[in-house]
Amino acid sequence: MITDFNNKTAVLTGAGSGFGLECARIAARLGMNVVMADVQQDALDNAAAEISALGAQVLPFKLDVSKADQVEALGAAAFERFGAPHFVFNNAGVGSGGLIWENTLKDWEWVIGVNVMGVAHGVRVFTPMMLDAAKKDPGYQGHIVNTASMAGLLNAPNMGVYNVSKHAVVALSETLYQDLRLVTDQVSASVLCPFFVPTGISQSHRNRPDEFKQRGIKPTKSQMIGQAMSDKAVTSGKVSAADVAQMVFDAIEQDRFYVYSHPKAIASVQTRLEDIMMARNPTDPFAHKPEIGLKLKEELRAA
């Protein structure tokens, strides 16, 4: 929980676009120092210039969150410039689709590296310095927000690697919340579970590192279908990234753990949990919009 953001420090990964940039805009308006990290240099440069123009003290930092040493360097640079942060947003993420057995080893390594280990590194690096700050200052308030997805609470078909990574982020975040409650009342945590929101997530392959590129390997039919569906769903979202960023700050002020962009989607989560409780086979996730499931099935079964 943070009740006053003025003169506090925010560390944001994935800050060059989407939720990260929108949170940086709010942080600047609230008088925060802003540490902006992103893997894409041009996006980071443009975003940092914009936030600086709003009057905030900005530290831009290019990094790949899947690399432990780079996140550790981010932590050291942020601490040296501003001291222990108050708001840490482990937000950087990438998307990947296709039938789960068609994902290659490089697909798994890339998505898990960014989506899971990126959050793990952020938690590992920043939580100790936040707890140390809390011990030294009874007035210190800190909050960690990890970006998961509704795909961390549901398991839609044809996006298995992404689902797995986001379920891991939800589990990590719930455990972080409980672990923090054991040791402090001054630092808390939230998990962000957005549904389809217009961000750059569906085009995250633009930043896929060379080590995970698969030269000479064409996308499978299921992967191309998944990409097309993701592009359409994300770009047609009615809730904006700015809306979600405001939800994040509201949740921090209220010490609310679960942050949803589309509360109506929780009905599907309830159905999934009932499936588990009743040992019932998984319900069709497209039961409320059967035309989507039928179209996907027809496309995948077509010769």
Residue 13, domain CATH: 3.40.50.720
Residue 174, in any domain of the structure: yes
Residue 4, in any domain of the structure: no
Residue 49, in any domain of the structure: yes
Residue 3, in any domain of the structure: no
Per the structure, the complete domain to which residue 228 belongs is given by 9-301
If one compares 219 and 60, the residue with the highest pLDDT of the two is 60
Residue 118, in any domain of the structure: yes
Q: Is the pLDDT of residue 248 over 90?
A: yes
Q: What's the confidence (pLDDT) of residue 160? A: 93
Q: What's the confidence (pLDDT) of residue 265? A: 87
Active site (annotated) includes residue 162: yes
Residue 2, in any domain of the structure: no
In angstroms, the Cα distances linking 91 to 51, 187, 215, 220, 265 are 18, 18, 28, 28, 21
Q: How many CA atoms lie within 13 A of 79 on its CB side?
A: 15
Residue 131, in any domain of the structure: yes
Instruction: Indicate which residue of 162, 177, 258, 260 is catalytic.
Output: 162
Confidence band, pLDDT 50/70/90 cuts, at residue 225: confident
Residue 1, in any domain of the structure: no
Q: pTM for the complete prediction?
A: 0.92
How many domains does the chain divide into? Answer: 1
If one compares 81 and 214, the residue with the highest pLDDT of the two is 81
156-159 contacts at long range (C-beta below 8 A, 24 or more positions apart): 156/285, 156/286, 157/99, 157/285, 157/296, 158/97, 158/98, 158/99, 158/222, 158/225, 158/226, 158/229, 158/296, 158/300, 159/95, 159/96, 159/97, 159/98, 159/226, 159/230
